[in-house]
Amino acid sequence: MHAIAAAADLTILNAFASLPQWHAHLASLALPSPHRLRPSWDEYFMRMCDLAARRSNCMKRRVGCILVKENRVVATGYNGTPRGVLNCNMGGCPRCNDGAARGVALDVCLCLHAEENALLEAGRARVEHGGPESGAILYCNTCPCLGCAKKIIQVGVREVVFSQSYGMDDLTQRLLSQAGVTLRRFSTKAIV
């Protein structure tokens, strides 16, 4: 019995005094809802961002990014040191390992952002193919910084979906808006 319970996706404790209370509780959970059975595209790709972020070796923050075109993954990225450089968590980035405050000395940080890694992996041809109106959607678990926003615009991404705020969201939003790129915040409360 323990093996079956351990394999379950969901465990519900029946601590109700009557059968009608139990049935009402089960109905409130909406277990057979389509949302629970099959995630939306946004939920699916945001979960992939969180999984990609787990690959990060950065000492400061773990960020994941997914580039999507026509609901197909074009590229993934996570933040960390460049190829061939000692990983951040092994001392590769002095700024991250010296305890610099958030937002300070970013110009000497050796780590690439998740968005940069995904954009470099995909290349402009795979992002914008078919023109700007058919450009890719970039999903990221944090709002892109201003530097990444410039690169996002340049390669032809048409929409950015993020879940967590970042220190320069207003600047990023203004720049993306000026360039015709949609910036949309995804509510993680939608993910069950």
**CA–CA separation, 152 vs 45, rounded Å?**
18
* CA diameter of the chain: 63
**CA–CA separation, 46 vs 76, rounded Å?**
12
Give me the catalytic one of 43, 70, 115, 116: 115
Structure tokens at 114: 């998740």
**CA–CA separation, 63 vs 54, rounded Å?**
8
Structure tokens at 167: 């220190």
Q: Do β-strands 137-142 and 72-78 pair in parallel, antiparallel, or remain unpaired?
A: unpaired
Amino acid at 81: T
CB 114 within 8 A of CB 91: no
Q: Do β-strands 64-69 and 137-142 pair in parallel, antiparallel, or remain unpaired?
A: antiparallel
CB 153 within 8 A of CB 179: yes
Using the Cα atoms of residue 110, residue 114, residue 73 and residue 53 in order, give the sign of their dihedral: positive
Question: Catalytic residue at 115?
Answer: yes
Catalytic residues: 115
